[in-house]
Amino acid sequence: MRKLIGLTAIVVICFFLGNCVQRFVAASQMVPQLAFPLSAAAHEFAAMLQPRFPQVPIRAQPPVFNGTDINIDLINQWLGDSSPEVFLTFDDGPSAEATVQILDVLQRHDIKATFFVLGSNVSRLPDVVQRIVAEGHELALHSHTHPNFLTLTREQKEAEIAQSLSLLHWYFPEVRIRWFRPPYGKYDQEVVDIAHDYGMCIAMFNEISTDNNSSAGEIARVVLNSRGKIMVFHDGQWPPLGRLSEAEAQLVAGLNRSVGIAKGRGAKFMTLSDYFGGFCP
């Protein structure tokens, strides 16, 4: 009997110490910016040390009642070519290279943007997401694994949203995740209902500004003519390669050439919630 009690005590102590170690590792990753950027291999190793976030969905946000989604009709009603507002949004990240370099550009010009992240990438790179939040950008959701939602069952749709939202609230419990953008811009009423149930509204766009063949000059021209636009860029590859792709390099160069000039010409760079937050309370 004494041996059984002793063994039980050892198991409890080991569990407690293991939980403390996991929390310590999580906390050690939550830094706004590293003195030296981690290599892709280091990020993968760090991901192995991360705490396991709860797999049961965390309903940390109340449902949205009477919310209004940012669809093309709303965009056309509230924005136009004469509008000074510009909304830089980035899908598919974070990435260890592209997102960090984009953040550097935005920081130099004191510009805020909205980042639609993938839960699978957040789990690999929580330190990059922490920098997004720490520097005043908006954190939004783009699903967990980037599926076409029109090919999923309702249960699968909810799992994609619930898992990634649970992960974001595990790392950032005080951050309001207001917007959900379905991959490829494909969604149906079920997706709208699920997003609202988890406290988010749909956020679409009126400018897909780049593709894999866009040059830095083409990207710069789009940004310089971006008034009244919710612009979509991609700061993460799918699947992630762990290094800066040519398309991402052109994106960073194009932004670096243009955002400061556009701001000097009167463009008002905003996050989605800066302008549309009242539509999704």
Which of 43, 146, 169, 234 is labelled catalytic?
234
| Radius of gyration for the chain, computed over Cα atoms and rounded to the nearest angstrom | 20
Ranges of H-type helices in 154-245: 154-171, 189-197, 216-224
Q: Is 265 helix (H, G, I), strand (E, B) or coil?
A: coil
Cα–Cα distance for residue pair 7/12, rounded to 1 Å: 9
Which of 43, 69, 91, 146 is labelled catalytic?
91
Q: Please enumerate in sequence order all residues whose Cβ is within 8 A of that of 49, keeping only pairs 6 or more positions apart, or say none.
A: 25
Q: What is the DSSP string of 48-79?
A: HTSPPPPSS----SPPPSS---B-HHHHHHH-
Q: Is 234 a catalytic residue?
A: yes
Phi first, then psi, for residue 232 (nearest 5°) are: -105, 120
Q: Tabulate helix, strand, coil % of the chain (nearest 5).
A: 50, 10, 40
Cα–Cα distance for residue pair 233/248, rounded to 1 Å: 9
Q: Is 91 a catalytic residue?
A: yes
CA distances from 228 to 70, 157, 214 (A): 14, 31, 21
Residues labelled catalytic: 91, 234
